[in-house]
Amino acid sequence: MAVLRLRSDLALVILCVGLYVGAAAQVRNPSGSALGLAVHTAFTPVVIVANAVGSGWDLLWAGERTLYDTVDELGRRRAESEALRRSNQLLTAELAALRQGSQLLARFPSVSEGAVLARVVSRDVVLTHSLLLDRGRADGVALDAAVLAGDGLLGRVDRVSDHGARVQLLTHPAAAAAVRIVGLTIEGLLVGGTEPAITQLPPYTQVEPGTAVVSSGSEGIYLPGLLVGTTLEASTKGLFTIVPVRLAARAPEAMVVLVLPAASKVTP
């Protein structure tokens, strides 16, 4: 029996030639290869895994990019939010001031003519017991003009410049005002301080706690009838009855005040 022995390299060349001829035949009669389909079917899981890996990477990449964008956007939004917050605070303060001013004008319609609405620029209710206002002589604010808050009398203007004024509060130790307790005909002198009190009342004057105290206007600064506060428990010390007063106006909360014309200019 004859055995066909073929050198490996020769066999390879012959096979390559055969492949070439086969390829030429395929070109002449093109038809789809089932082998290719089989390979692709066999390796479908590989494609799925590769797609999953690629998709995961895409997501990661997109996520990183989005993260950076988000951080930048967050920074911008935070800055914007901060600016808006400040603006909102200012607007809120403005609104509250306007509301207070409106309330003031509505509460004191009889004295609002010639009065000046002023904003409290700064305040010191602990040491100097004063307020600084943004209105001054140029706006019609005069020295010794009475200053009202929504709840009552605050004090008087003790210093005035062209565009600003300082208010001496009734809590100032040097402050004083002639007052009258509602229901009593006699007048007293309200002396300022941390605990303002009415002095110079006759001894053993009976005063009901919680009685309204109004200005009498005798000192020539405050218009008569302005609410100052309410009385506390009265006591007689020496020759006078002392009546502590709880002031009606709260200086720490005043944002807008009404500066009345100086009493000398106002015709009663």
Partner 1 sequence: MKLLVAFVVALALHVGFRAAHLWWVLAACQPLLLVIVASARTHAPTGSAWIGLGAGLALDIASGRIIGPGGISGAAAGAVVGIVVRRFELEGPLFWIVGSLLAAATGEILWFAAVFSLGIVPDHGWLGVLATIAMTAAAGLVVAAGERALRAWRSPERARRRLLRRH
Residues at the site binding partner 1, with contacts judged by CB under 8 A:
8-9, 12, 15-16, 19-20, 22-24, 26-27, 30, 33, 35-36, 39-40, 43, 46-47, 49-55, 57-58
Query: Minimum distance between the CB of residue 43 and partner 1, rounded to whole angstroms?
Result: 4
The tokens for 101 are 């001013």
Query: Minimum distance between the CB of residue 90 and partner 1, rounded to whole angstroms?
Result: 53
Which CA distances in Å does 150 have to 99, 147, 204, 222, 238? 10, 10, 33, 16, 36
Query: Minimum distance between the CB of residue 85 and partner 1, rounded to whole angstroms?
Result: 44
Where do runs of H (alpha helix) occur along the chain?
A: 8-28, 34-42, 44-107
Query: Minimum distance between the CB of residue 63 and partner 1, rounded to whole angstroms?
Result: 15
Query: Minimum distance between the CB of residue 16 and partner 1, rounded to whole angstroms?
Result: 5
Contact call for residues 177 and 219 (beta carbons, < 8 A) = yes
Q: Which is nearer to partner 1, 32 or 252 (CB)?
A: 32
Q: Which is nearer to partner 1, 54 or 75 (CB)?
A: 54
d(CA 104, CA 154) in angstroms, rounded, equals 13
Give the orientation angle of helix 44-107 with respect to helix 34-42, to 10 degrees. Answer: 50
d(CA 147, CA 98) in angstroms, rounded, equals 17
Q: Which is nearer to partner 1, 62 or 79 (CB)?
A: 62
Could you tell me how far CA 10 lies from the centroid of its own chain?
Answer: 94
Query: Minimum distance between the CB of residue 19 and partner 1, rounded to whole angstroms?
Result: 4
Q: Which is nearer to partner 1, 58 or 72 (CB)?
A: 58
Q: Which is nearer to partner 1, 11 or 182 (CB)?
A: 11
d(CA 236, CA 204) in angstroms, rounded, equals 6
d(CA 154, CA 240) in angstroms, rounded, equals 25
Give the side-chain half-sphere CA count within 13 A for 59.
Answer: 6
Query: Minimum distance between the CB of residue 70 and partner 1, rounded to whole angstroms?
Result: 24
Q: Which is nearer to partner 1, 46 or 90 (CB)?
A: 46
256 phi and psi angles, rounded to 5 deg: -130, 135
Q: Which is nearer to partner 1, 50 or 95 (CB)?
A: 50
97 phi and psi angles, rounded to 5 deg: -65, -45
